A and B are shown apart, each in its own frame.
Chain A
């Protein structure tokens, strides 16, 4: 599924997250990178250095927006001020698609700034899908929702996480940002088979992949984005690529960030799975 309606019919390859410690390297060395993902909220400001850097990046690179606080899954309505600022940024970046998380994080106008897990219920799916549609209609750009890592499950859930994801994206008619690391982390925290998840996702809706590193604790795994991608996650990614096809892939590295080259080289490892897939396809 290299290009589909959910990623704006693009054919992006391997990208990395645009992070502050790499700004000067990127602007001075202009390394070859297929695309950068930006955290929308970092640039939803009215002026100053963040926008200046972004404009310089946009002169050279393709950029895709990824949000952390639209909170499609919050029971309260979408934040109008947030959407207006987001749309202003969409016009600036010309992002071919826009992603945010399938989660909630605000209630009664108070923000936790976290990606809190959803109860997997039909009521939640209905509210969430309606909000995704509203956001897409306002922003006029395809939206993809990302599965989050979670550390808790609710008694009230009526289905599995992957059934919930499918329910939401079908109702909203939107795309999926499939975070393979998040599937792995949640599968370990909730004791399910991560391949059941990957095999059940509506492949035709996957607009993008995320890969990342995580940290193991005694009783659970935390999604820390401060390590290289671990082997079980690469294997899961391989299966996801087999199912979905060559799709825009992004490495997230957000803490203890090493040099630009180290991050980029880690991301480019994804190419071997894509090449394997291409070889299999070409084989008689």
Chain B
């Protein structure tokens, strides 16, 4: 008597999840030096064998080749986004070193956000832990990564309703804590990278319009700038005003005062810290406050 063939086994919810884990692992794995998918899987098996276990071949492509399309697309997409976000770091390191760094970073810290905007969120942390990726340009390259992340934050972080200084009249400075706008980042850099990055961004903007001769001249200028990059401490506020990102240079005293606000000191505490550093001049500090308030940097009383 013939036995009735058993119905094909249906996928379980657990198997559905495991399939996605397997495919995502393959798709997000770094490409081989040839630019294609790696030939061997993590456990040493041939990748073709692994792919054929879950991907169907067709009359034109093997399972390996079909999976490879997704593996390539993944890296093209995230590298493109990373390239766009870090033109300054790319210019400092050069294309090849930047590409190696990007691959190492994105392998260790793949995107954990629904938006590619956050791809570089942990880059500074990565470079601090693994400085060999940016040696011997470690200090400027690390500073550039901080500056470029601050630019991303300034571009689309929230702008809360600005605080009018008049609303502080009569308030006790020992009780007031000022909050800075979420789009504002304070940076102490060891090099004048703000000028360098502005130049890089201008070049990027011109690239689509400029002639080859113009592009060459810009590249030379950039390279000259890089060669003559000398250590010089720069204090910056990276912020947004009228929907445009700016790098505003600060005096050391201004930086100290704003940093104190960011650290949630009261106005009295922040001014006291400033006085201790012998930079207190009441008239000058008042004009700083007026200027920052005009830029909308203070957003509310805490």
Binding site for B on A (CB under 8 A): 41, 44-52, 69-70, 74-76, 79, 81-82, 104, 106-114, 116, 119, 121-124, 126-127, 151-156, 158, 189-191, 219-220, 222
User: Beyond A121-B10, A152-B66, A152-B67, is A108–B61 a contact (Cβ under 8 Å)?
Assistant: no
User: Beyond A48-B155, A116-B27, A119-B16, is A152–B56 a contact (Cβ under 8 Å)?
Assistant: yes
B91 sits at the interface (CB 8 A): no
A82: chain B residues at CB < 8 Å are 114
B69 sits at the interface (CB 8 A): yes
Contact call A219/B116, Cβ cutoff below 8 A: no
Partner of A69, one of B54, B59, B115, B182: B115
Partner of B28, one of A112, A127, A153: A112
A121: chain B residues at CB < 8 Å are 10-11, 16
Nearest CB in chain A: distance from B7 CB, A: 10
A104: chain B residues at CB < 8 Å are 20
| CB-CB nearest in chain B for A52 | B243
Nearest CB in chain A: distance from B270 CB, A: 26
- Give the size range of B's interface with the partner: 35 or more
Contact call B19/A119, Cβ cutoff below 8 A: yes
B23: chain A residues at CB < 8 Å are 116
In the A-B complex, the 8 residue pairs with the smallest Cβ-Cβ separation, listed nearest first, are: A46-B158, A48-B156, A75-B17, A45-B156, A121-B11, A152-B66, A219-B60, A111-B111
A-B contact pairs, 10 of them (CB 8 A): A49-B244, A51-B156, A69-B115, A108-B21, A110-B112, A112-B111, A113-B78, A116-B24, A123-B15, A124-B11
Partner of A152, one of B69, B74, B113, B183: B69
User: Beyond A47-B158, A48-B243, A110-B111, is A122–B58 a contact (Cβ under 8 Å)?
Assistant: no
Nearest CB in chain B: distance from A270 CB, A: 28
Partner of B56, one of A44, A112, A153: A153
Instruction: Give the residues from 1 to 15 in chain B that come closer than 8 angstroms, CB to CB, to chain A.
Output: 8, 10-13, 15
The CA of A111 and the CA of B111, in the complex, are separated in Å by 5
| CB-CB nearest in chain A for B73 | A114
B16: chain A residues at CB < 8 Å are 75, 119, 121, 123-124, 127
The CA of A154 and the CA of B78, in the complex, are separated in Å by 25
Contact call A111/B156, Cβ cutoff below 8 A: no
- The CB with the most chain B CB atoms within 10 A, among A76, A104, A113, A219, is that of A113
Contact call B74/A154, Cβ cutoff below 8 A: no
The CA of A69 and the CA of B63, in the complex, are separated in Å by 26
Contact call A79/B70, Cβ cutoff below 8 A: no
Contact call B55/A107, Cβ cutoff below 8 A: no
User: Beyond A47-B159, A74-B20, A152-B69, is A127–B13 a contact (Cβ under 8 Å)?
Assistant: yes
User: Beyond A112-B27, A152-B67, is A79–B74 a contact (Cβ under 8 Å)?
Assistant: no
Contact call A48/B19, Cβ cutoff below 8 A: no
A46: chain B residues at CB < 8 Å are 156-158, 182
B240 sits at the interface (CB 8 A): yes
| CB-CB nearest in chain B for A69 | B114
One digit per residue, 1 when the CB lies within 8 angstroms of any chain A CB and 0 when it does not, for chain B 193-227 equals 00000000000000000000000000000000000
The CA of A119 and the CA of B22, in the complex, are separated in Å by 13
B117 sits at the interface (CB 8 A): yes
B228 sits at the interface (CB 8 A): no
| CB-CB nearest in chain A for B67 | A152
User: Beyond A48-B155, A152-B69, A220-B69, is A122–B10 a contact (Cβ under 8 Å)?
Assistant: yes
Nearest CB in chain A: distance from B219 CB, A: 25
B36 sits at the interface (CB 8 A): no
Taking A49-B156, A49-B244, A222-B69 as given, write out 5 further A-B residue pairs in contact, using a Cβ cutoff of 8 Å, ordered by the A residue number: A116-B20, A126-B13, A152-B66, A156-B15, A219-B61
| CB-CB nearest in chain B for A51 | B156
Contact call A113/B59, Cβ cutoff below 8 A: no
Contact call A114/B74, Cβ cutoff below 8 A: yes
A222: chain B residues at CB < 8 Å are 69
Instruction: Give the residues from 32 to 86 in chain B that come closer than 8 angstroms, CB to CB, to chain A.
Output: 53-56, 58-61, 63, 65-67, 69-70, 73-74, 77-78, 81
One digit per residue, 1 when the CB lies within 8 angstroms of any chain A CB and 0 when it does not, for chain B 104-119 equals 0000001111111100
